[in-house]
Amino acid sequence: MGNKLYVGNLSYKLTDEALKEAFAQAGTVEEAVIITDRMSGRSKGFGFITMSTGEEAQAAIEMWHEKELDGRKLIVNEARPPRER
How confident is residue 1, by pLDDT bands cut at 50, 70 and 90? low
Instruction: Report pTM.
Output: 0.92
CA separation for the pair 53, 50 (Å, rounded):
9
Q: What is the mean pLDDT of residues 3-8?
A: 97
Residues with Cβ within 8 Å of residue 64, at least 6 apart in sequence: 7, 22, 23, 26, 74, 76
User: Which domains does the chain possess?
Assistant: 4-78 (3.30.70.330)
Summarize pLDDT for 50-64 with one digit per residue, the tens.
999 999 999 999 999
Q: What is the pLDDT of residue 84?
A: 87
Among 62, 2, 18, which Cα is nearest to 10's?
Answer: 18
Residues 37/44, Cβ–Cβ less than 8 Å: yes
Answer for the pair 60, 26: CB distance below 8 angstroms, yes or no: yes
